[in-house]
Structure 1
């Protein structure tokens, strides 16, 4: 048991450091899904979108390589499923995408902004976490399970793009994404390269930590194979909706021995610390609050939509859009498409509202 305890600490520290690296990279390079979509919609600028696509490509290739070298078992990930939860991921993704626009960023961006001194993001963090917890185990969980979760397609071969039977599909898709972004000369700058390869590489590293370093073939007490420190008991990478709920739960019930640290909580803390360290180092740390009651109301609504939507969609822009998509999960593909669509609709509505206001 001493060895298990030591291994658990190593895995938790690794996820904290992974989160710290993600937070520092995101703060310094402005890596942000909502920002990337906004740049494309409002300015036609694909720079940050290409950073995102690069990260996906790196994570895909990395996950496939880890699996092919026998370092991880892809069938044991949190995203491995024989059910295509198309309605849950569609509805949840639309909610999350719409909400992250009016809440000024996704789960990861919320943590990054918190680290930079943004008090609005602290409110988003708390409300999103409570809403996510309610959708995991509370009143909205009952609604979720009895409605959208009841609609799915059974896929005996697995809800995964590998069912197409294309050899080396992950490598092909990953390389296509990398070639697609690297052929643009404006992508060859420090910010974009660090953002794309750094974020994608961090996701890959967390797959190795969770699936290889933290894998115990036979637990001394249960004799079962376990992935230590994960909340699901399966292999996990980075995600920032349910882990935010778990963080609040751990903080509120800290004295309860059954509430233990998990990889998700460690990563959440790491992102905030990494962002804060980066902001202080480059002298961009500053306190920021709500401009007016309308600003507060929008952020509250966006927080609830992200919390409920993120759990319903089985993940966020990082959880489904990077970690999940790197496994070629069909659920992740549907969720990410819905998140982008929800964000575009929200951005268009904001632009139309601003135009009407300007005309008054």
Structure 2
């Protein structure tokens, strides 16, 4: 593909705008799941944790409402969060490895991308390590030959439901009430999360509340952009192209496979068909963070605290890249985009990610003197 049609240019610009705003907010609020857990466990401060949980609630309500209005169909998402193949082994093991890796690497893929944008060459290195590991897992035979044979048996096919979204699990496949049930469950779960967030005075301040609202809205807007009428036009246009862009379809933010997409593109930068939503997300978040750090006068070149810190963090980055792909999502992929589809696997993965992170935080003083996300 030598020229990019205007329709795709518009798509890339809109996707970049969403990612850029996400980077701005992520830097301004230090938005981070594992950082929030660490603050709560070690400092007793739940501001960032409740910000993340509230963003989750906003994303669930907004996405469920847009799907009810037939703006998009979340059953067709990439990755297929609602697949009837409930890969419980991948969600649990991959999630735990990812959660532990987040602690070792002082942040998930998004958080390290944000810190990279504000001047951390430590995070630049860690993002590179995460990306290479994700590339190996998604673009080589490593997963198929060595990992899939272990985890393939740890999958249950939900025949009676036809999908793993909570509404289908409750009412079964083909029920006339699925659409309404999805909407009601979205509001019930979303409002419950917001209720618990607003009970905490730490959250009831402008920055946390606005950050949660924006992040949750961005998750839903990305689904609407990629899976709505505009997304359908892209797919129709791609059908007539010699080298159509890869990775089209209903999707929102995640930092698992997109990091592998970044490596894949950098290996053939002249091939514009390799430009994906995920690739734009990584670039947009980094640039958004860079601009925000300049505006807030927080841009500062920083690196590893020591050689030991470099080794531990690099191992954590490998865990993050491996665990995120194995679990089919990360703290953003499952924790925000996945739960917005009400997929059971995303809730299981979030629980496992949390368990891995808590274990890592509890044992962190044994290997690290300085810490922070």
Using the size of structure 1 for normalisation, the TM-score is 0.91
Aligned-partner SS, 1:280: helix
Match of 1:169 among 180, 185, 197: 185
Cα distance in 1 for partners of 2:188, 2:249 equals 27
Map of 1:293 onto structure 2 = 307
| Gapped regions of structure 2 (runs ≥ 5) | 172-179
Map of 1:113 onto structure 2 = 115
Match of 1:264 among 272, 278, 286: 278
8 Å CA contact 2:15, 2:277 repeated in 1: yes
Q: Deviations over 1:307-354 (max 9, x none)?
A: 110100001111111001100111111111111110111111113456
Describe how 1:21-36 pairs up with structure 2 within 5 A: 21-36=21-36
CA shift, 1:218, in A, is: 7.1
| Gapped regions of structure 1 (runs ≥ 5) | none
Q: 4+ residue stretches of structure 1 with deviation over 6 A? A: none
Do the aligned partners of residues 253 and 144 (structure 1) sit closer, same or farther apart at CA in structure 2, a change above 3 Å counting? Answer: same
CA shift, 1:146, in A, is: 1.3
8 Å CA contact 2:89, 2:155 repeated in 1: yes
Q: Deviations over 1:77-126 (max 9, x none)?
A: 12220111100111111111001111110010010000000000111111
CA shift, 1:230, in A, is: 5.9
Cα distance in 1 for partners of 2:122, 2:102 equals 13
8 Å CA contact 1:7, 1:214 repeated in 2: no
Aligned-partner SS, 1:9: helix
Describe how 1:90-109 pairs up with structure 2 within 5 A: 90-109=92-111
Map of 2:53 onto structure 1 = 53
Do the aligned partners of residues 104 and 220 (structure 1) sit closer, same or farther apart at CA in structure 2, a change above 3 Å counting? Answer: closer
8 Å CA contact 1:24, 1:275 repeated in 2: yes
CA shift, 1:195, in A, is: 1.7
Map of 2:174 onto structure 1 = none
Do the aligned partners of residues 32 and 8 (structure 1) sit closer, same or farther apart at CA in structure 2, a change above 3 Å counting? Answer: same
State the Cα RMSD in Å.
2.4
Map of 1:243 onto structure 2 = 258
Aligned length: 351
Q: Deviations over 1:118-147 (max 9, x none)?
A: 000111111111111111133531222111
Map of 2:16 onto structure 1 = 16
CA shift, 1:176, in A, is: 1.1
Do the aligned partners of residues 222 and 21 (structure 1) sit closer, same or farther apart at CA in structure 2, a change above 3 Å counting? Answer: closer
Do the aligned partners of residues 40 and 115 (structure 1) sit closer, same or farther apart at CA in structure 2, a change above 3 Å counting? Answer: same
